[in-house]
Structure 1
Amino acid sequence: MAFERRLPTRHRGAGLLAKLWLVPWSFVLLLCAVAAVGYVALYSAGGGAPEPYASKHALRFGFCLVMMLCLAMIDIRLIARLSWAGYALGVALLLLVAVHGQVGKGAQRWIELGPIQIQPSELMKILLVLALAQWFHRASWERVGRLLFLVPPALAVLLPVGLILKQPNLGTGLITAMVGGAVFWAAGVRWWKFALILAAAGGIAPIAYERLHDYQRARIQTFLDPESDPLGAGYNIIQSKIALGSGGLWGKGFLQGTQGHLNFLPEKQTDFIFTMISEEFGLVGALGTLLLLGLVVCFALAVALRTRHQYGRLVAVGLGVNFFLYIFVNIAMVTGSIPVGGVPLPLISHGGSAMLTTMLGFGLLLSVHVHRDAEFGATRQ
């Protein structure tokens, strides 16, 4: 397979050329295929025109693709050395959001850096993975088992999660916590520690529910009984289910989706883009889209298995889980399996921050793959 390629002897020590040889171009083509699905769906969401969604999607992907390949050339050991500095930058951006963030749809989640508007909570998930991987990457099995050794990385997870929940952004906050937990698990933390955390979370859940914002409680109540308010809080998910079911096996055809084009389907270019795909291309189109996204997750896990150093393995697992959770939460949301939470479908939904952070993660993943044989030094006892 492409990701198992090794350097020919004549290319060893050739620097940039050698690294380009190691880039798994089949994976790059896979990402292009996923982005192409997004372009087609956004072209339809724009009423059968490249504006206002599809053209921006293509430009963003092209820029991020170049950024991803440039990032893949950076030595993973340099990235490891800068991991905690990146984490500190992410926390600083979250604090900046709390002070000067832009308010949208009742939440304060965005900041403007010149002409660019970014959502630091999305970036923070990537930076958290790097920081946790740096903490665990040379720790022995015995050291990982010590409770005191786990306190600093646990606090490193809780700090950004708390700041994200404060915005408020419950969905991203929970995903950030789960991504951090995935790195803990991959590092060898014992299962019973996770069981204690889950038990504690279950104990405080009723208290946490009472402290949720009114709209967050309404989302949970709507999830349990969407028909109780079909023209209000339950409208989105009811229309989404109608669109999903109306597509049938083969769909209504490109640009023929009635729920989307007659504007019954809300946020069709972002949160509910998968519903548009299902309505126009049916079950076959929906499963084909999921297959492409699933192959991306499989590549991340394959990189983790084939990387010699612990830092790269942990980064690959964390980034793979992050991408999987994007997909799982979005699909579960639009099918009514979980409350609506405003999580986009990566590389397909319209949006700059999600595209940038997703491709940033893939750039780091490719850097792990290209430098999978790098030497990091001895394990710390």
Structure 2
Amino acid sequence: MIAVGGRRRIVWAPSLGASDRVLTVLAVALSAAGLLLVWSATRMTGDHALLVRQAVAVAGGLVLMWLVSRVDLRVLRAYVPAAYVLAVLALAAVLSPLGVRVNGAHSWIVLAPGVRFQPSELAKVTLALAFAVPLGELRDGRRRPGFGGVVLALALAAVPIGLIALQPDVGTMLVFAAMVAGALLVSGAPKRWLLVLAAGAAGAGATAWQLGLVRPYQLERLLVLANPAADPGGAGYNAAQARIAIGSGGLYGKGLFNGEQTAGHFVPERHTDFVFTVAGEELGFAGAAAIVLALCALLWRGLSIARDSASPYGAVLAGALVSWIGFQAFVNVGMTVGLTPIVGVPLPFVSYGGSATVAGLVAVGLLQAVHRTKPMQP
């Protein structure tokens, strides 16, 4: 206990404990499964460049995961303002001539021929670190954030969300909204703020509609979700082919590298947004369920870390990270089986994509940093 301003409170300090080995094993196993599925999805092209790039991203992400897990949270906290500013500038750069459009969204920056960077993935990490500050650093003996802290957190989230809306990248916007909601819940903020968040999201959607930011193909995807049989050769093609591929796998699948639907290019983006179809067809229900269970186990470990955190800051940070990974996994799997609209979000740790892979593994490193931070002894 330390006396501050006449009050006594518990202070968390840089003493570090052991890593969560289960969390590490799950992240490594999912990344390895992703490499196999990406290899299977791209093998018919004869070009192994995608597999090599993904392997490099996984290796780099694992190194960063280990490095981040060894850093004291207070050290990370000191660099949060600079990281937030850099993330916002990178998102703004996407809208400049430096950015390129891929699959209808202006979300990428080309670093070199064949090498692209997606700033919104970096922004997920920095946003989790940033809004954990006003929600998790409590003063004057408070047990939950006050009005000013919640407003500041929402303001910090509004800037990157607004820039992503201009791309437009609906999937990433929804992930950010889920992160904010998860952080508010873990922080203990009054539930009315979730209603404010929902109202703000509805208002943002209406504004985007009025300004013409909602693309026709995005509206068509919502209509297909309401009526899966509509336009199977057009707007509903992706969803229809994804369900056919997964259904054809049966209980145990056709065997790794033996998928006909995915290898035959019937499923678009089968190595990125629709990589789960490769698991469903080649590994069957058993293999696909194993991936889902591994993700659920990872999320459970993350929630346990948030619950047992030595500091409110660590708890809110872990809550935001778990909300990001959990929501994104739910939407990705859901859109392959017709439960959610196709919004273009990758399956965490499994889909091809260097930026997303590295960001996801860094998020696991942050969860480890929260887990390893122990409270200062009285």
What's the TM-score once normalised by structure 2's chain length? 0.87
Q: Is the contact between residue 182 and residue 321 of structure 1 (CA under 8 Å) also seen in structure 2?
A: yes
Letter in 2 for 1:127: T
Give the AA of the match of 1:350: Y
Output one character per residue of 1:29-79: Cα deviation in whole Å (capped at 9) or x when no partner.
222211121122122112377924333322321221111111111111011
- The CA deviation at 1:362 is 1.4
Change (3 A) 1:31 1:148: closer
Q: What pairs with 1:1-381 in structure 2 (closer than 5 Å)?
A: 22-47=18-43, 51-99=48-96, 100-113=98-111, 117-139=116-138, 144=144, 146-199=146-199, 201-202=201-202, 208-209=208-209, 211=212, 212-373=214-375
Aligned length: 359
Contact kept? 2:134, 2:150, Cα under 8 Å: no
2 CA distance for matches of 1:296 and 1:341? 23
| Higher RCO (C-alpha under 8 Å, 6+ residues apart) | 2
CA contact (8 A) 1:144 1:150 kept: no
Judge which range, 39-48 or 234-243, deviates more. 39-48
Higher helix share: 1
Q: CA RMSD in A?
A: 2.5
> Residues 277-307 of structure 1: CA distance to partner in whole angstroms, max 9, x if unpaired?
0111111111111111111111111111222
CA contact (8 A) 1:268 1:276 kept: yes
CA drift of 1:316 comes to: 1.0
Q: Over residues 73-102 of structure 1, what are the superposed CA-to-partner deviations in whole Å (9 max), with x where a residue is unaligned?
A: 111101112222211111111111111212
SS at match of 2:346: coil
Q: Distance in 2 between matches of 1:242 and 1:114?
A: 37
1:153 to 1:42, Cα distance in 2 relative to 1, 3 A: same
Task: Compare 206-215 and 56-65 and name the one that shifted more.
Answer: 206-215
Q: TM-score, normalised by structure 1?
A: 0.87
The SS at the match of 2:284 is helix
**Displacement after TM superposition at 1:204 (Å):** 6.9
> What stretches of structure 1 move > 6 A for 4+ residues in a row?
none
Which range moved further: 58-67 or 323-332? Answer: 58-67
8 Å contact 2:135–2:145 — kept in the other structure? no
Give 2:7's aligned residue.
Answer: none
| 8 Å CA contact retained: 1:128, 1:157 | yes
Contact 2:184–2:194 at 8 Å: present in 1 too? Answer: no
Match of 1:9 in 2: none
> Distance in 2 between the 1:277 and 1:182 partners?
29
Please give the per-residue CA displacement for 1:105-163, whole angstroms capped at 9, x wherever unaligned.
23211123467521111111211111111112232586856434422221111111110
Unaligned runs of 5+ in 2: 1-13
2:102 counterpart letter in structure 1: G
Unaligned runs of 5+ in 1: 1-14
Change (3 A) 1:57 1:374: farther
25-34 or 355-364, which deviates more? 25-34
Q: 1:205 to 1:107 in 2, by over 3 A?
A: closer
CA displacement at 1:317 relative to structure 2? 1.0
| Mean Cα deviation higher: 355-364 or 23-32 | 23-32
Give distance in 2, aligned partners of 1:266 and 1:221: 19
In 1: Cα distance, 2:21 partner to 2:69 partner: 12
Equivalent AA in structure 1 for residue 176 of structure 2: T
Cα deviation for residue 193 of structure 1 reads 2.7
CA distance in 2, matches of 1:304, 1:193: 20
Cα separation, 2, equivalents of 1:89 and 1:203: 28
